[in-house]
Protein backbone atom coordinates (compact mmCIF):
# COMPACT_ATOMS: atom_id res chain seq x y z
CA UNK A 1 0.00 0.00 0.00
CA UNK A 2 2.83 2.40 0.82
CA UNK A 3 4.42 1.84 -2.62
CA UNK A 4 1.10 2.54 -4.37
CA UNK A 5 0.70 5.71 -2.30
CA UNK A 6 4.18 6.87 -3.30
CA UNK A 7 3.56 6.18 -7.00
CA UNK A 8 0.16 7.88 -6.98
CA UNK A 9 1.64 11.19 -5.82
CA UNK A 10 2.88 11.82 -9.36
CA UNK A 11 0.10 10.16 -11.35
CA UNK A 12 -3.11 11.29 -9.66
CA UNK A 13 -3.62 13.59 -6.68
CA UNK A 14 -7.13 12.19 -6.14
CA UNK A 15 -5.80 8.63 -6.00
CA UNK A 16 -3.05 9.80 -3.65
CA UNK A 17 -5.64 11.20 -1.23
CA UNK A 18 -7.63 7.98 -1.33
CA UNK A 19 -4.55 5.86 -0.61
CA UNK A 20 -3.35 8.27 2.10
CA UNK A 21 -6.65 8.02 3.97
CA UNK A 22 -6.72 4.22 3.64
CA UNK A 23 -3.11 4.04 4.81
CA UNK A 24 -3.80 6.25 7.84
CA UNK A 25 -6.90 4.25 8.76
CA UNK A 26 -4.95 0.98 8.54
CA UNK A 27 -2.25 2.35 10.85
CA UNK A 28 -4.82 3.54 13.39
CA UNK A 29 -6.64 0.19 13.28
CA UNK A 30 -3.36 -1.61 13.98
CA UNK A 31 -2.65 0.68 16.94
CA UNK A 32 -6.12 -0.04 18.30
CA UNK A 33 -5.61 -3.77 17.85
CA UNK A 34 -2.20 -3.80 19.54
CA UNK A 35 -3.33 -1.58 22.40
CA UNK A 36 -6.61 -3.52 22.78
CA UNK A 37 -8.80 -0.47 22.22
CA UNK A 38 -12.37 -1.27 21.19
CA UNK A 39 -12.89 -0.69 17.48
CA UNK A 40 -16.26 -0.55 15.74
CA UNK A 41 -16.71 -1.14 12.01
CA UNK A 42 -18.35 2.23 11.39
CA UNK A 43 -15.92 4.39 13.37
CA UNK A 44 -14.76 7.39 11.34
CA UNK A 45 -11.14 8.42 10.89
CA UNK A 46 -11.66 11.44 13.16
CA UNK A 47 -13.30 9.30 15.84
CA UNK A 48 -10.32 6.91 15.78
CA UNK A 49 -7.84 9.78 16.01
CA UNK A 50 -9.78 11.42 18.85
CA UNK A 51 -10.13 8.15 20.78
CA UNK A 52 -6.44 7.26 20.49
CA UNK A 53 -5.45 10.82 21.33
CA UNK A 54 -7.68 10.84 24.43
CA UNK A 55 -6.03 7.60 25.57
CA UNK A 56 -2.62 9.22 24.90
CA UNK A 57 -1.56 6.67 22.27
CA UNK A 58 -0.92 9.49 19.78
CA UNK A 59 1.54 12.28 20.37
CA UNK A 60 1.96 15.48 18.41
CA UNK A 61 5.22 17.18 17.64
CA UNK A 62 5.40 20.90 17.23
CA UNK A 63 8.01 22.30 14.88
CA UNK A 64 7.81 25.74 16.50
CA UNK A 65 10.96 26.84 18.27
**SS3 assignment for the chain:** CHHHHHHHHHHCHHHHHHHHHHHHHHHHHHHHHHCCCCCCCCCCHHHHHHHHHHCCCCCCCCCCC
In a domain, 62, yes or no: no
- Asked, for residue 14, whether it belongs to a domain, the answer is yes
With bands split at pLDDT 50, 70 and 90, how would you rate the model's confidence at 40?
confident
Residue 18's domain spans which residues?
Answer: 2-54
How many domains does the chain contain in total?
A: 1
Q: ∠ at Cα 17 (13, 18), nearest 5°?
A: 120
- Classify residue 65: in a domain, yes or no: no
Enter the DSSP assignment of 18. H
What is the pLDDT, as a whole number, of residue 5? 62
What is the average pLDDT across 25-43?
88
Question: What's the pLDDT band for 23 if we cut at 50, 70, 90?
Answer: confident
Quick one: pLDDT at residue 20?
79
- Whole-structure pTM value: 0.68
Q: Is 61 contained in some domain?
A: no
Question: Which pLDDT score, from 0 to 100, does residue 8 have?
Answer: 62
pLDDT of residue 1: 60
Residue 40 lies in a domain: yes
For 8, the 3-state DSSP assignment is helix
Amino acid sequence: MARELENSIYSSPQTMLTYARTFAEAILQQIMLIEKVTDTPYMTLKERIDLLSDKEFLTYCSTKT
